[in-house]
Amino acid sequence: MIGLWRRIATGAGLIAISLIATSCGTTNVGIARSVNPVPKIGVVLSLTGVDAPIGIAQRMAIELAQHQFAHIAGARFQPIFIDEASGPAGVADLLAKGVSAIIGPTHSSFATAIYSEVDIAQTPMIGISLSVPGLTAFRPLLWRVSIASDRTIPPAVTAAARATGATTAYIVYTSNNLFTVAENEIFAYSLAQDAVNVIGSSSFLSGQTNLSAIIANIKAAAPGLICVAAESTDAPRILQLLRANGLDQAVVGGDGFNSSAILDHPGPAANNVYVGGAWDSVDPSPMSRAFVSDFRRAYGSTPDSFAAQAYAGIQVLLDAIRIGGPTRAGIQTGLGKINRVPTVLGPFSFDISRDAVYAPVINKIENGHFVRISK
């Protein structure tokens, strides 16, 4: 018996196949029961506003999966996309349309805001970019495919501290976002664990343009490391400001630094940046290489970690449907039985708290590329 998501490299790209291979080649027998209707899946993403680049990348990956699996009985699904800007009322309307599950949302803060709607409807929700630690606690319908930042930031801090020999650090963070506030606390804890003394910290609002006081404070403190917890749209600008003011120290970034924007916009300013995440486009696995190739062929750009987690979210969802069926209750049951299903993130399982079980990736940015340090 072969694995549910075994890869076949063909000219058509990434293909999901089912559980039987014949002597004539690979046969699609169906991931779920072929008599089941095509399930409607609600997808809640940040499609406008400051984090639209993340939400759009996630939507592209989900639409790629929909296209690739459309010809496979049991793997078909109908995504219904809404913007986080529609608020909890938008999610309530989505649930009223009879969706079998929710993929998303993009932001941890929005996940907490809509959970009561999800709970009332008893609809499983698969988080694909939620990074705040402890988010799944007391939320039995929330399953997290993404890795929490308390698993990605500590090894990135350790890698930077060992590489540079730094003994001091300065933390900069966005104060009006749940996940960056949490990352500030994780940075402080991680630095202490590595015997790196935090000699200063500053906060700012996402989108704030005048950061001259913060830059002056960092220059005066002269830290060995600069740790930045910022949204994906703020991170490139922070890097450019640091480098333009002669602050060439190693930077350790939070989850916002996993967006492709960090490679596209700052240019050389992104060099000497350390970041931990769920995935990178240089992952050597055959499934990951095929995903990168297919994404580039479809969209003319390289997928980032957020796109890969969205794609993996669909892979996990479809395996849950295979196990339990396409109803809300069936998917919830199936998610509880996920065990090392092959995904673009690697073999995937959930732990007892419904958090993802797979190794984070630690990268250093050099010359516009992620260079893997460890996984």
pLDDT in tens, 285-316: 999 999 999 999 999 999 999 999 999 999 99
Whether residue 243 has pLDDT greater than 80 = yes
The residues, ordered by sequence, that sit 6+ positions from 350 with a Cβ below 8 Å of its Cβ are 143, 144, 335, 336, 338, 356, 357
The per-residue pLDDT for range 182-191, each reduced to its tens digit, is 999 999 999 9
HSE-CB for 304 with a 13 A CA cutoff: 24
Does 318 lie in the same domain as 255?
no
Instruction: Give domain status of residue 153, yes or no.
Output: yes
User: Can you give the CATH number for the domain in which 114 is found?
Assistant: 3.40.50.2300
Same domain for 120 and 158: no
**pLDDT value at 112 more than 90:** yes
| Residue 348 pLDDT grade (very low, low, confident, very high; cuts 50, 70, 90) | very high
Given pLDDT bands bounded at 50, 70 and 90, which one contains residue 80? very high
For the chain, the average pLDDT equals 89
Residues 158, 139 within the same domain: no
Q: How many domains does the chain have?
A: 2
For residues 346 and 285, is the Cβ–Cβ distance under 8 A? yes
Give pLDDT, residue 352.
96
Contact 46, 68 (CB under 8 A): no
Residue 115's domain comprises 32-147+287-353
Decide if pLDDT at 31 tops 50.
Answer: no
* CA neighbor of 144 nearest in space, from 373, 369, 350, 370: 350
Confidence at residue 185, expressed as pLDDT on a 0 to 100 scale: 97
Residue 225 domain flag: yes
Question: pLDDT at position 33, please?
Answer: 40
Mean pLDDT for the stretch of residues 331-357: 96
3-state secondary structure of 25: strand
> Quick check: is 7 in a domain?
no
CA angle 96, 326, 348 (to 5 degrees): 115
The residue-averaged pLDDT of 320-335 equals 97
Does residue 209 lie within any of the structural domains? yes
Q: Is the pTM of this model over 0.85?
A: yes
Q: Residue 36 — very low, low, confident or very high, per pLDDT cuts 50/70/90?
A: low
pLDDT interval class at 29 (50, 70, 90): very low
Same-domain check for residues 171 and 68: no
14's CB contacts (< 8 A; 6+ apart) are 7, 68, 287, 290, 291, 294
Rounded mean pLDDT, 34-53? 86
Tell me which residue of 170, 165, 136 sits closest to 150, measured CA to CA. Answer: 136
